[in-house]
Amino acid sequence: MLPPVIVWFRRDLRLEDHPALAAAAATGRPLIPLLIEETDQPEAETNGAAARWARHQAVTSLAAALEQQGLRLLLRRGSAAAVLDEVIAASGADTVLWNRRYTPGGVACDRAIKAALTERGLTVHSFKATLLFEPWEITTRAGGPFRVFTPFWRACQAAPLPDRPLPAPAVLVPFPLPLESEALAEWGWLPTAPDWAGGLRAAWSPGSARTRLATFLDSGLADYATGRDQLGRAGTSRLSPALAWGELSPRTLFHAIRDAAPTGDGPDRFLAELGWREFCAHLLFQAPDLAEQPLRPAFAAFPWRDDPAGLVAWQRGETGYPVVDAGMRELWTTGWMHNRARMVTASFLVKDLLISWRQGAAWFAETLVDADPASNPASWQWVAGCGADAAPFFRIFNPTRQGETFDPDGAYVRRWCPELAALPDRWLHQPSAAPAAVLRQAGVRLGQTYPLPIVEHDTARRRALAAMEKCHGEAAVRGL
């Protein structure tokens, strides 16, 4: 029997457009699909509770797809280097293939493993599969990294088109000898006591990424440019979890959007969002401390407040601002939040409450099924004004106006804050300003059935601008 080939799966839990798997299949040799629960990754790169739940679903779907081809997904927990050594010794494998990752811990781990295995005479190859472009492929004219999104995306658009996605291999040869595998259920990725994942199960169906993509192409893409901001309608693709865990590749999405080509701005707007994901991954590759340190060094001295009560109120969706509370409750219930709501809730935390973006990023990392180690901190830094291509700090969302603009009929707030459902549209986004008679008729008792605002927005805005001026000077507040 020819020595088998190990294919190491990570955030690429699919058979289609999987270059490492395709290369392994092309050898015609037996394959060992391996997934490792790495116990030695940095804390910033470990998965939060909701992400573990989502990963469990994606791994289960991958295992089922492999079983249809006669292969068993080998599951092992431990140090990646040690696990690979064990599997190589038990199987006689002489080749290890994987798709590249770009997080600091992942890069360091992969480089060390590749060097060690190569020195021992094994064949090791890695492939591009989780990004459209390698971080070293898209550079400024001076050869450096981009720090502003628009020129970055223009450079991507000017580059040769990403390759079309690879089909799933037609034939995969299983390794015939038994290898001991751990049970996914024993890894503790699913909550048990208590089981808080009921809302996640209701919101996400395992293995449904292809169906969601088809639905979006058919009924969502054409109006995406405008629909993506409307909180009360299904105007987004809801494909971010599939991208986060590699159930769909970015190349699959990129070419599916281009091939669909409906009229209007929808395709360009969606591809730009795919470009933002790319931009964030490149930023993390070039700035490994992205999750801890602001990209703009002046923000290292920003006077963030220590406000445990405010943080808890924000996390629970009890701020007294309906659109903020609706977003945070959607997140807790489903493990996902509408993109517009993500911006509004993030702005409220860092600007109305002056709580550090790091604490917001940590909460999102724990509660999002699509938590991404690059997009999460990069997007929080963008909102806080301290990151690449950041929104200026002095642009502070008024949560009431955001609700009135992007949830004008109140469908979003009424769904996630049902205690406010009977309020007229005029007062739905500012119940604290509603006349007492209106509140009584709607059954709303402020401070009892719904919280009073934990901060007055205009006062909070002035406080935020004063903090900005203290840290950076008056010119920065004025945007000069």
Give the distance, in angstroms, between the CA of residue 108 and the centroid of all CA atoms in the same chain: 22
Distance CA 217, CA 225 (A): 13
Whether 137 sits among the annotated catalytic residues: the reply is no
Q: Which of 276, 363, 382, 416 is catalytic?
A: 276
DSSP letters, 106-175, are HHHHHHHHHHHHHHTT-EEEEE--SSSS-TTTS--TTS----SHHHHHHHHHHSPPPPPPPPPPS--PBP
Q: Provide the residue count of the chain.
A: 480
Q: List the alpha helices (DSSP H) in 32-79.
A: 49-68
Q: Are strands 123-127 and 5-9 parallel, antiparallel or unpaired?
A: unpaired
Between CA 457 and CA 398 the distance in angstroms is: 7
Does the annotation count 136 as an active-site position? no
d(CA 454, CA 200): 29
Q: For residues 75 and 182, is the Cβ–Cβ distance under 8 A?
A: yes
Strand order in the sheet with 31-38: 74-78, 31-38, 5-9, 95-99, 123-127
Q: Is 268 helix (H, G, I), strand (E, B) or coil?
A: helix
Active site residue 380: yes
Whole-angstrom distance, CA of residue 277 vs CA of residue 256? 17
Amino acid (1-letter code) at residue 440: R
Catalytic residue, candidates 45, 137, 304, 419? 304
The tokens for 190 are 């699913």
Select which of 245, 357, 382, 427 is catalytic. 357
Any catalytic annotation for residue 427?
A: no
Which of 273, 318, 366, 404 does the annotation list as catalytic? 273
Angle at 146 between CA 144 and CA 150, to 5 degrees: 150
Helices and strands, counts by H and E, the chain = 22, 5
Q: Do the beta carbons of residue 255 and residue 165 sit within 8 Å?
A: yes
Active site residue 204: no
> Which of the following is catalytic: 98, 380, 382, 416?
380
Q: Does residue 32 contact residue 91 with C-beta atoms inside 8 Å?
A: yes
The encoded tokens of residue 197 equal 């994942």
Of the candidates 297, 304, 479, 458, which has an alpha carbon nearest to the alpha carbon of residue 394?
A: 479
Question: Alpha-carbon dihedral of residues 245, 248, 251, 255, nearest 10 degrees?
Answer: -150
Establish whether 153 is a catalytic residue.
no
Catalytic residue among 187, 339, 366, 469: 339
| Burial class, 459, CB count within 10 angstroms (exposed 0-12 / middle 13-18 / buried 19+) | exposed
Find out whether 32 and 179 touch, Cβ atoms under 8 Å: yes
C-alpha distances in Å from residue 220, one per residue of 177, 223, 434: 47, 6, 36
Catalytically annotated residues: 273, 276, 304, 339, 357, 380
